[in-house]
Structure 1
Amino acid sequence: MSVTVRVPAKVNVQLAVGAARPDGFHGLANVFLAVGLYDEVTVTPADELRITCSGPDAAQVPLDATNLAARAAIALAGRHGIDPRVHIHIAKDIPVAGGMAGGSADGAGALLACDALWSTGATRDELLAICAELGSDVPFSLVGGAALGVGRGEQLTPVEVGGTFHWVFAVADGGLSTPAVYREFDRLTAGTRVPEPAASGALLDALRTGDTAALAAALSNGLQPAALSLRPSLADTLAAGTTAGAAAALVSGSGPTTAFLAEDGAAARKVADALMASGTCRDARIATSPAPGASLC
């Protein structure tokens, strides 16, 4: 018997970052939007806990207990007195270390898959609590759709979305370490007053009404200056997509993937083709949003 769960990537349409807290985390107002790029996580009973991975950049995925999928299985098993002897296979399609929560998606996918395999009867609240222990982005990977995350991003409130948004994601060579990007944010903002993060009313209205032009005007990412400081070449990617007609462009999360909002599917294809021709990225992926959260296949 095996169980497979499909789980989406995300884009941060707003990422407002506060000053570092005493616990080392940063307060956030983080508007997540799930997008239609997916990993599939399959769990099968085994003699011991092990992880395998296939797909683009699979070689970059850790196959030990640091992987969030393994940690999810161990956390759920520990709560229910189960020996977590499962084979977890991750079929990757979400860019690795790309600011699109691929690792978090795998954690949420493994959690839901193990819950089904073991018939734990865990409540949604219990699963979300485990997700929050695993990482700031993991709860949203479970929930999907659109949500505002506060605290360090794990405290979610659903956000209404009134239409379909078209995206292009430019995948960069190599990754960016999220902790390193936050350290650079701290360096760049040292000695300045960092405002308390708050959700943008204009952005929430744009999502609710499905207004692409209004969303384009409201997109923001407080980590973008830090990501560009560590990877200046991303500015060329952003410029290439904008020149090709993207309604808006920004670094996705902590990067280095860059996100381009397009008016429609045809415009998205034009932007993707131009990005590939520009030589400023390794791949250009087209997707729509919102997308459902982790779900059994």
Structure 2
Amino acid sequence: MTDAAASVHVRAPGKLNLFFRVGALGSDGYHDVASAYQAVSLFEDLWARPADDFSVEVAGTVDIGRVPLDESNLALRAARLLADETGTRRGVRLTIRKGVPVAGGMGGGSADAAAALVACDALWGTGLSAERLHALAARLGADVPFALAGGTAVGLGRGDELRPAEVSGRYDWVLVTSAAGLSTPDVYRALDAQRDRGDASPPPAVPEVHADVLAALRAADAEALAAAIRNDLQSAAVELRPELADTLASGERLGALAGMVSGSGPTVAFLTRDEEHAVDLAADLRAEGRQALRVHGGPVEGARIVSVQGRGRDEGTRG
């Protein structure tokens, strides 16, 4: 183990699922998936400081009313898991500043967990390898390993079996957020019910990310990507929140290349040609009374240490 730090600041990104196929419900109650993840320029900032026990406090630029502060908080679970696995007897006080919509299908909680793993590893000087951190992340949730990795990646299995995707250029998105979140388990249950009724396409035997998605990313071709994006959870999210259909129709009417529900929703993501197009689309959506913000994806890193304070001195920035 290395010397422990006095305070660690880590930043981790939110994500979009550019492509998301959902397999059949398994006997264990889970679904295999195939996802093309892309980290985007909305971030969670987390500070870890020494303490005798484990606690978390949350602030942010988004509505944090639904963020739990008890043992169900994913960042707190990550810290406890790391302590248990490494045998440390130290505690931690976590402070989170949220910038990713809560319960919005963009992996904000997963980013918090990834940030907590990285921050506590540095705070306690436990010195885990990237492979061990990834293994712990996978135990916390399917999206947590990607929040560690960032960039753009294909996720298989539960979504945690990652391989980097070759990407050229930057992708500009406009997000329309919602004041009320959606429960991921509820959305999956709605999709299963739709499939049972024959109201949704049957599940693939083995979920895969289509080759045309990967080809569009390699070519930095936003229009080709727009033609290839897909989210099997979208129909279920729209069934639970019918107003999402109006949001999707508005963005496409106003000139988006394509629109999709992000993950389990209710955030809706619109792909644009470039930054200028995104500026115009966001303004048009706001003029219709929608909460719209611009983000970009592509070269966005995963959970990274911003600064480390140790023994009264700043050890600088990394990542």
TM interval, shorter chain, is over 0.9
Deviation at residue 293 of structure 1 after TM alignment:
0.5
- Say whether residues 1:40 and 2:45 are aligned partners: yes
Q: Distance in 2 between matches of 1:237 and 1:273?
A: 14
Distance 2:159 2:153 in 1: 10
TM-score normalised by length of structure 2: 0.91
CA distance in 1: counterparts of 2:284 and 2:66, whole angstroms: 27
Task: For residue 210 of structure 1, report the CA deviation from its aligned partner.
Answer: 0.7
Q: What is residue 216 of structure 1 aligned with on the other side?
A: 226
Which of the residues 204, 207, 210 maps onto 2:214? 204
Percent identical across equivalent pairs?
Answer: 48
Q: CA deviation at 1:83?
A: 2.5
- TM-score w.r.t. the length of structure 1 is 0.97
User: What is the SS of the residue equivalent to 1:227?
Assistant: helix
Aligned-residue offset at 1:241: 1.2
Q: Distance in 1 between matches of 2:146 and 2:237?
A: 22
In structure 2, what is the equivalent of residue 190 of structure 1? 196
DSSP 3-state at the match of 1:88: strand
The counterpart of 1:241, out of the listed 233, 251, 254, is 251
Structure 1: any 5+ residue segments left out of the alignment? none
Q: Secondary structure at the match of 2:65?
A: helix
CA distance in 2, matches of 1:208, 1:67: 37
1:262 and 2:267 matched? no
Structure whose CA Rg is larger: 2
Find out whether 1:83 has 2:92 as its counterpart.
no
How big is each residue's C-alpha offset from its partner over 1:176-225, in whole Å with a ceiling of 9 and x where there is no partner?
00000000000000165422311110000001111111001101000000
Shift of 1:59: 2.2
Q: Distance in 2 between matches of 1:158 and 1:250?
A: 22
Alpha-carbon distance, 1:84 to partner: 4.5
1:285 aligns with 2:293: yes
Structure 2: how far apart are the matches of 1:168 and 1:95? 13
- Do 1:240 and 1:274's aligned partners in 2 also have CA atoms closer than 8 Å? no
Q: Secondary structure at the match of 1:33?
A: strand
1:49 equivalenced with 2:54 (yes/no): yes
- Structure 1 SS opposite 2:133: helix
Cα distance, 1:271 vs structure 2: 1.3
Moved more, 75-84 or 258-267: 75-84
CA distance in 1, matches of 2:197, 2:247: 30
User: How many residues of Structure 1 are paired with residues of Structure 2 in the alignment?
Assistant: 295
Identify the range of structure 1 (102-111 vs 188-197) with the bigger mean alpha-carbon deviation: 188-197
Distance in 2 separating the partners of 1:266 and 1:239: 21
- Residues 1:295 and 2:304 are matched in the alignment: yes
- Is 1:226 the counterpart of 2:236? The answer is yes
Q: Which runs of 4+ in 1 moved over 3 A?
A: none
C-alpha distance in structure 1 between counterparts of 2:249 and 2:283, whole Å: 14
Asked if 1 retains the 8 angstrom alpha-carbon contact of 2:8 and 2:47, the reply is: yes
RMSD over aligned CA atoms reads 1.0
What's the offset of the Cα at 1:134? 0.2
What is residue 158 of structure 1 aligned with on the other side? 164
1:68 pairs with 63, 74, 83, which one? 74
Stretch moving more, 264-273 or 137-146: 264-273
CA-to-partner distance for each residue in 1:59-115, whole Å, 9 max, x for gaps?
221111111100110011111111241110110000000000000000000110001
Matches of 2:89 and 2:189 in 1, distance apart?
Answer: 38
Distance 1:111 1:105 in 2: 10
